Amino acid sequence: MNTPRGKALQAITAVLEEGAYSNLALRGAVQGASATDAAFIKQLVYGTLTYRRSLDYLLEQWLTRPLASLTPPIRNLLRLGLYQIIYLDVPDHAAVDESVKLAYKVGHKGVAGLVNAILRRAVRSQAALPWPDTNSVAYNLSIRYSFPEWMVERWLERFSPAETEVLCATFNSAAGTDLRVNTLQATAAELLQEFAAAGIEATPHPLVANSLHVAKASLPNLEALQAGRCTVQGAASTLVGQVVDPQPGQLVYDVCAAPGGKALHLAELMQDRGRVVALDIHAKRLGLIESAARRLQITSVETRQADATKLTAATWQPAERVLVDAPCSGLGVIRRKPDIRWHRTASDILELATLQLAILSEAASLVQPGGILVYSVCSTEPEETTAVIFSFLEQHPNFVPCSWPKQLEATWGQELTAGYLYTYPQQHALDGFFICRMGRTE
């Protein structure tokens, strides 16, 4: 079990059978592994979790007994082996042979024979996999791309079947790594030159300034990261800070700040002059912000423990800018957190919308007249986005949608509606986000 595939199997079993968090299970699996093995283990774990529904469907077509009747290690070993055959560019014989070896370790000769037979049949069937072809588009797509059917049904309400399929495929694609340039320490051009000299291929995002994309999923030893010249942040998250558009010398609140990427970006945009007060309900998570601020050499960020649903219970100095990056379903960042699809339900979205409206209403009290309130979530679901904004504006007539900074209107003007924007991975090469900019009139 000490091979990369064996470690991946242990992590997958921990997640699917014991309820472990995938990031924690993966952390244990890669401990002590080489960089190459760690990358392979990560690919195996996240890939198998991502395509679990597709894998289970195919396995059920070939097994003579229910998949659920197999022991957890064998069930997950079949998933892991099939994932390699269908989705990974590895030799078929390696996927089969290594799976059979693991079967002997976690089972017996009989189940090893079963694993061998099923995976060899999968190899023979690759050219004509038995995908469903029913009258239900949602069901067909949910099986083919491995999503809960209720989730696909939601997307079909907003997109055509063809675009929904592209969305599903995009969510299953590798996200790579986005790096936000720390403009206090470097320019995008300087970092691109530095990366090129180190043999790292990076490209500027065409829609988001100072965001560089690297195809690699992980860059743990990148010197520019360690020295604080850049930081890992999705390009859509970087766009949020640019929408807030804080100015040097201002007071700014980030009311749901941990782990701090957006708060620190706001400080960079202010040239580290002024005050960014980063609030979070969890005191331990504020340490993440403080640690990142030291790495980025930022001094204008202050951390405070506070419950964002109870802000009006305390006295706060009114601010020129307030950001509410609210807790959400996270369905817009499935590319980065593939197993979140299995941890969310439709009822979660409604519950989160109630929380989001409560936080936004409390945060409104922190905005001074003439100030700006920005609401963002990494979701494009209507209940968490426009429904929250419409309810908020109805309850707070002293807030109105307002124009975006001129440099952003030049890029996004045609897609802006009443001060808000949706970004979609299949359209913008960005995570699925919703951003709304509102001004306080009195």
Q: Are residues 294 and 411 in the same domain?
A: yes
Q: Are residues 240 and 120 in the same domain?
A: no
Q: Is the pLDDT of residue 215 over 90?
A: no
pLDDT of residue 211: 98
Q: List the domain range (segments joined by +) for residue 145.
A: 137-171
- Provide the whole-model pTM: 0.93
For residue 259, whether the previous peptide bond is cis, meaning omega lies within 30 degrees of 0, is yes
Q: Which residues are catalytic?
A: 378
Q: What is the CATH number of the domain that holds 212?
A: 3.30.70.1170
Q: What is the CATH number of the domain that holds 90?
A: 1.10.940.10
Beta bridge partners of 372: 321, 439
Q: Are residues 279 and 401 in the same domain?
A: yes
Strand arrangement of the beta sheet that strand 202-204 belongs to: 202-204, 211-214, 177-181, 230-232
Average pLDDT across the chain, whole number: 94
Q: Is the pLDDT of residue 320 over 90?
A: yes
Banded model confidence at residue 357, pLDDT cuts 50, 70, 90: very high
Tell me which DSSP letter residue 90 carries.
S
Q: Are residues 156 and 270 in the same domain?
A: no
**Tokens found for residue 239:** 């766009």
Q: What is the CATH number of the domain that holds 309?
A: 3.40.50.150
Q: Is the pLDDT of residue 96 over 90?
A: yes
Q: Are residues 220 and 206 in the same domain?
A: yes
pLDDT of residue 219: 76
Q: Are residues 296 and 208 in the same domain?
A: no
Q: Are residues 217 and 267 in the same domain?
A: no
The last residue of a domain, from among 214, 232, 250: 232
Three-state DSSP at 251 gives strand
Q: Are residues 268 and 296 in the same domain?
A: yes
One DSSP character per residue, 373-428 reads EEEEES---GGGTHHHHHHHHHH-TTEEE-PPPHHHHHHHGGG-BTTEEEE-HHHH
pLDDT of residue 113: 94
pLDDT of residue 61: 95
Q: Are residues 305 and 423 in the same domain?
A: yes
pLDDT of 416-428, one tens digit each?
A: 988 999 999 999 9
pLDDT of residue 108: 81
Q: What is the percentage of the chain residues whose pLDDT exceeds 70?
A: 100
Q: Are residues 124 and 24 in the same domain?
A: yes
Looking at residues 109-137, what average pLDDT do you find? 94
pLDDT of 155-195, one tens digit each?
A: 999 999 999 999 999 999 988 899 999 999 999 999 999 99
pLDDT of residue 20: 85
Q: Are residues 275 and 360 in the same domain?
A: yes
Residue 309, phi-psi category: left (phi > 0), alpha (psi -120 to 50), beta (remainder): alpha
pLDDT of residue 426: 93
Q: Are residues 209 and 240 in the same domain?
A: no
What domain count does the chain have?
4
